[in-house]
Amino acid sequence: MGEFELIRRFFTRPVRRAVLGVGDDCALLAPAPGMQLAISSDMLVEGRHFFADVDPRRLGHKALAVNLSDLAACGARPLAFTLALSLPRADAAWAGAFADGLMALAEAHQCELIGGDTTQGPLNICITVFGEVPAGQALLRSGARAGDDIYVSGTLGEARLALEALQGHLQLPPATLAATRLRLETPTPRVALGQALRGIASSALDLSDGLLGDLGHILAQSGVGACIDTRLTSALLTAGPGLDTELLRQCTLAGGDDYELCFTAAPTLRAQVEAAAAASATPVTRIGSIEAQAGLRLLGNQGQELLQRYASFDHFSA
Amino acid sequence: MGEFELIRRFFTRPVRRAVLGVGDDCALLAPAPGMQLAISSDMLVEGRHFFADVDPRRLGHKALAVNLSDLAACGARPLAFTLALSLPRADAAWAGAFADGLMALAEAHQCELIGGDTTQGPLNICITVFGEVPAGQALLRSGARAGDDIYVSGTLGEARLALEALQGHLQLPPATLAATRLRLETPTPRVALGQALRGIASSALDLSDGLLGDLGHILAQSGVGACIDTRLTSALLTAGPGLDTELLRQCTLAGGDDYELCFTAAPTLRAQVEAAAAASATPVTRIGSIEAQAGLRLLGNQGQELLQRYASFDHFSA
């Protein structure tokens, strides 16, 4: 047995939900009657999505977390996933730690590994995740209506702050760096909140590239515009004293790698949104509203319209 | 819009079978009542699974073909797939040709692209494919019984011959190289045969690493042994005169990259196997039989037992 075959065994676990798991040509899943299968694929590449020296346990967590976050954004309950892993060397210590981080998150969400592929090559992780959602109840990007409130879960911008510090662009106090780095390297997929928002949110997505850029997808697919009030978003990042206010605003509005949910709901449903947040133990903050006219307006500290546009993650450091 | 975003658009097509396709956080699939979903993931890495200068149209074909071959091995009907693609550069000509080859095969099998990911990084293609199979009817590796016949579809070894020639290990006449190279670069997934074998084959898998190595998976999972008669397998590779008989035998028994089906069936079902082959217009050849005692025996030209073991693809050139 080759070493890659040994490593493959780290990822072979018995399945409880799937009809058939790892070890045949295909895995077999049987969604319950009336359920639709929600499916998402994300590929993580060394140097682009993570640093070469990242803790493999955290990388295992993140690789699944970003996929679970897509299920959360659809309001789906996680069921299973496949893992395709390309490794430069058959490094059992690395692979074992990666598997530990991956499987701990998988078990926390009762999401089982049902298949995959392990090969030699530049470090690359591709996960495809499967969830189930009652037919017709998936949260989509296309449902926002003029007048809806806009919300985000949790906090925004810490991951970007950590990234900037790790790249040497700014200095953070050690405790702040450790805390923000945890957010960058072990994001929390908002799985319970997504399911609690079924029937309440009119649209939703998860924030991977930055709030304003990602919100743009909801606006485009719903054919609407939006107004975001930075007096409300400023509460989303309180990373401690000594940091430039404008930098914090950039990280909040366009930081990326947050894996929080952004969603819209009719103002008549504010109590239900609060109840969903409480039931899933996930803080949510109302940050603006959907408008009929296309475009994204930003309000400043005095309620004035800000002319500056905040670009998405890709262009932040350009 | 960035160039990678443009390339992403090559892969955005309207869906007819899926509830929701490319463009939201998840795709949505609703398997028909009574059907199970068959799922398989394969990752193709430059330098390991294909040469850097391969025709991108052929690479697009092969990336999906090797996944459809897994569905075929389970007897599943293709439904949909996701594509995660890492590209060193946003090369629109390359990506367009890749998409052409990929989509032509997808349309031939009515298998639609429902989601995925495009990113910058070393060339890496990860496809996860979805098919449907009536509950309980999937062809597994674990069903072979002592006395069953062993069959393979099509021919075996041309892909390996082409690989050896392309690596400079042997010379082939130009016409032979072109023909064998087509087998290496554009394998034919035996999708119709796989479905026709439901209820007939006792076990099945697809041949990616070489006949004897892959057959070993059926033997291990079924708890049986096998006897293969090289007087029967010799008909599987007729690559022309001037090639060493022993080389041809190695390519046939352990070549790899064939993407033919290997399956077992009770001798009482020979007429049904022939009918399935005819209905799917796929030649099949009986090459041996399953035995109760563990181990894999090989019979030579005079029916004598060959002591030599033929290793699998990975070790062939070692």
Confidence of residue B111 (pLDDT cuts 50, 70, 90): very high
CA distance B51 to B165: 13
Closest CA to B261 of B110, B62, B74: B74
The mean per-residue pLDDT over the stretch B147-173 comes to 94
Quick one: pLDDT at residue B313? Answer: 41
Q: Kindly report, as residue ranges, where domains of CATH 3.90.650.10 are found in chain A.
A: 149-313
Whether pLDDT at A17 is above 80: no
Q: Which B-chain residues 68-107 have CB contacts (< 8 A) with chain A?
A: 70-71, 73-74, 76, 82-86
Q: Kindly report, as residue ranges, where domains of CATH 3.90.650.10 are found in chain B.
A: 149-306
CA distance A267 to A283: 18
The radius of gyration computed from the CA coordinates of chain B, to the nearest angstrom, equals: 20
Confidence of residue B309 (pLDDT cuts 50, 70, 90): low
Q: Is the CATH number 3.30.1330.10 carried by domain A3-134?
A: yes
Given an 8 Å threshold on Cβ–Cβ distance, is B23 in contact with A221?
yes
Quick one: pLDDT at residue A30? Answer: 87
Quick one: pLDDT at residue B19? Answer: 82
Over residues A133-162, the pLDDT tens digits come to: 999 999 999 999 999 999 999 999 999 999
Confidence of residue B287 (pLDDT cuts 50, 70, 90): very high
Given an 8 Å threshold on Cβ–Cβ distance, is A124 in contact with B124?
yes
Partner residue facing A84 (CB), from B20, B43, B48: B43
- Rounded to the nearest 10 degrees, the angle between the axes of helix A245-254 and helix A158-166 is 110
Confidence of residue B3 (pLDDT cuts 50, 70, 90): low
* A82 in Cβ contact with B127 (< 8 Å): no
Q: Which residue has the higher pLDDT, A244 or B307?
A: A244
Whether pLDDT at B317 is above 70: no
Closest CA to B86 of B113, B55, B59, B117: B117
* B4 in Cβ contact with A45 (< 8 Å): no
What CATH architecture applies to the domain B149-306?
A: Alpha-Beta Complex (3.90)
Given an 8 Å threshold on Cβ–Cβ distance, is A29 in contact with B19?
no
CA distance A205 to A209: 11
* Summary mean pLDDT of chain B: 91
Quick one: pLDDT at residue A234? Answer: 86
Quick one: pLDDT at residue A18? Answer: 80
CA atoms within 13 A on the CB side of B196: 21
Whether pLDDT at B314 is above 60: no
What ipTM did this prediction achieve? 0.90
Partner residue facing B27 (CB), from A23, A39, A122: A39
Placement of tokens 């052929």 in the chain: B58
* Summary mean pLDDT of chain A: 91
Quick one: pLDDT at residue A235? Answer: 85
Q: Which two tokens stand for residue B55?
A: 């025709």
The listed CATH number (3.90.650.10, 3.40.50.800, 1.10.10.60, 3.30.930.10) that belongs to domain A149-313: 3.90.650.10
Quick one: pLDDT at residue B243? Answer: 81
Phi, psi of A84, deg, nearest 5: -115, 125
Distance from the B266 Cα atom to the nearest Cα atom in chain A, whole angstroms: 21
Quick one: pLDDT at residue A240? Answer: 65
The mean per-residue pLDDT over the stretch A41-70 comes to 94
The mean per-residue pLDDT over the stretch A4-18 comes to 76
Quick one: pLDDT at residue A316? Answer: 37
| Chain B residue at shortest CA distance from A138 | B28
Q: Which residue has the higher pLDDT, A309 or A9?
A: A9
Residues in chain B: 318
Over residues A248-288, the pLDDT tens digits come to: 999 999 999 999 999 999 999 999 999 999 999 999 999 99
Given an 8 Å threshold on Cβ–Cβ distance, is A45 in contact with B114?
no
The mean per-residue pLDDT over the stretch B70-78 comes to 97
Angle among Cα A69, A75, A77 to the nearest 5 degrees reads 80
Whether pLDDT at B316 is above 50: no
Q: Kindly report, as residue ranges, where domains of CATH 3.30.1330.10 are found in chain A.
A: 3-134
Confidence of residue A3 (pLDDT cuts 50, 70, 90): low
Amino acid occupying residue A125: I
Residue among B4, B20, B39 with most chain A CBs within 10 A, to mutate: B39
The mean per-residue pLDDT over the stretch A54-66 comes to 97
Least confident stretch, A54-68, A111-125, B79-93, B302-316:
B302-316
